[in-house]
Amino acid sequence: MKKTAFFILTIVFTLVLNDCYAQTSGKVKRIKTGGDYTHKSTDVVFPKTVSKYLRTDIMTYDKKATTLDVVYQSHTGFNKTSVSIKIYPAGDGYDGRLRNEYLKSMQEIASTNNSEKISASQYDVFYTKDEYFINGYTAEIKNNDKHQQLHLSVYECGQWFLRLQLESDILKAEELSDLEQIFLDTINPVKIVINHNLNINAVINILDAARIDSLLVGCAISYANAKADWAANKVDSLERICGFPDLYLDMHTDALNAFVKFSDNNKFSEVNIYTQNYIAELKSLINAGFLSEFILDQYQYVMIIPEDKDLDINGYTKWRLTNPITINLTNPLVNIVYPAH
């Protein structure tokens, strides 16, 4: 696991707690076993011990043990370090899937802690082995109320999500990151991808939000084709079978430029005011040089940012004060899917 982005955003939890997301439902069933435990759905093996960490709990929520929570702990005096690992179904690889799941996991942490006492930094990560490349996103979270360091990572492994949450009273952020690597190497998420990967022939769906007029439909199709082509041309297939790679900032800038280009090259007799405003706002962002900053803002900075990208967040913030933008990229006009086999 490595940090691939130079841009590490320091954030404060301002999440709306009444939108809290619960990843598990149903009655908890604890699985008791003395030795290694194999998750039958993915063939991932959880040893009794990993390094000095003892497996203390295995939990599931359905008869087939599809969703699994496994907990490891180590005690040093009164201090404790725990590693919680969750494997659960992810289904089709639609655009935005990893970002959405990461943000939901962050929301879950915010809902169980005093958000005023929590701050965090976040960055993109990956796990690679045998040329497979699994994208993830990580938050390093400091709970000043409990004097505790938390480390959250979510990876998309084809048709499955893998989430690791590490908490410690004594280990620093860098040490928790190293510890996560030990557990990743033990679990070997590449095994999940090999057995449960995605079909990388993209399926594009035009959503109702785009069906306002013919121009918006055409712009949306150009946008979606640009995203799908960017992925096919610039991302290796052994990365794409893990999930649609829409964390890349450059994919989004290319796609929105294709959106505007279609509007410039095609004229329609009747264009809805919504479509006119949408295109005008995009053009104003492009002309001002703030398209990348806008995309980052819309997606809460959960992106893979090129190391040589020159961003002006302060300039963008000031520009927005006198240039209102109503576009909401999180209300998509299309979705792109890598279907599960």
Q: Considering 195, 211, 238, which residue would you say is the last residue of a domain?
A: 195
Terminal CA-to-CA distance of the chain, rounded, Å? 27
Query: Taking Cα atoms as reference points, which of 319, 341, 328, 58 lies closest to residue 197?
Result: 341
CA dist., res. 120 & res. 294, Å (int): 21
Q: Considering 195, 222, 253, which residue would you say is the last residue of a domain?
A: 195
Beta bridge partners of 88: 161
Q: Is 158 left (phi over 0), alpha (psi -120 to 50) or beta?
A: left
CA dist., res. 257 & res. 270, Å (int): 22
pLDDT-based confidence at 15, cuts 50/70/90?
very low
Q: Are residues 6 and 145 in the same domain?
A: yes
Q: Is the pTM of this model over 0.75?
A: yes
**What pLDDT is recorded for position 27?**
87
pLDDT at 189 over 80: yes
**What pLDDT is recorded for position 111?**
81
pLDDT-based confidence at 115, cuts 50/70/90?
low
Tell me the mean pLDDT in the region 9-20: 42
Share of the chain above pLDDT 90, in %: 83
The count of structural domains within the chain is 2
Q: Are residues 12 and 133 in the same domain?
A: yes
Tell me the mean pLDDT in the region 303-324: 97
pLDDT-based confidence at 114, cuts 50/70/90?
low
Buried b (16+ CB within 10 A) or exposed e, 202-224: bebeeeeebebbebbbbbbbbbb
Query: Taking Cα atoms as reference points, which of 131, 214, 204, 161 lies closest to residue 24?
Result: 161
pLDDT-based confidence at 112, cuts 50/70/90?
confident
Q: Are residues 232 and 190 in the same domain?
A: no
DSSP track, 7-24: --EEEE----GGG---S-
User: In this predicted model, what pLDDT tens digit does every residue of 120-167 receive, in sequence order?
Assistant: 899 999 999 999 999 999 999 988 777 889 999 999 999 999 999 999
Q: Are residues 223 and 132 in the same domain?
A: no
**What pLDDT is recorded for position 120?**
87
Q: Are residues 108 and 157 in the same domain?
A: yes
Q: Are residues 139 and 58 in the same domain?
A: yes
Tell me the mean pLDDT in the region 45-55: 96
Tell me the mean pLDDT in the region 201-217: 97
pLDDT at 50 over 90: yes
pLDDT-based confidence at 109, cuts 50/70/90?
confident
Domain residues for 268? 203-338
What is the rounded (10 degree) CA torsion for 307, 309, 314, 320? Answer: -130
Rg (CA), the chain: 21
pLDDT at 244 over 80: yes
pLDDT at 117 over 70: no
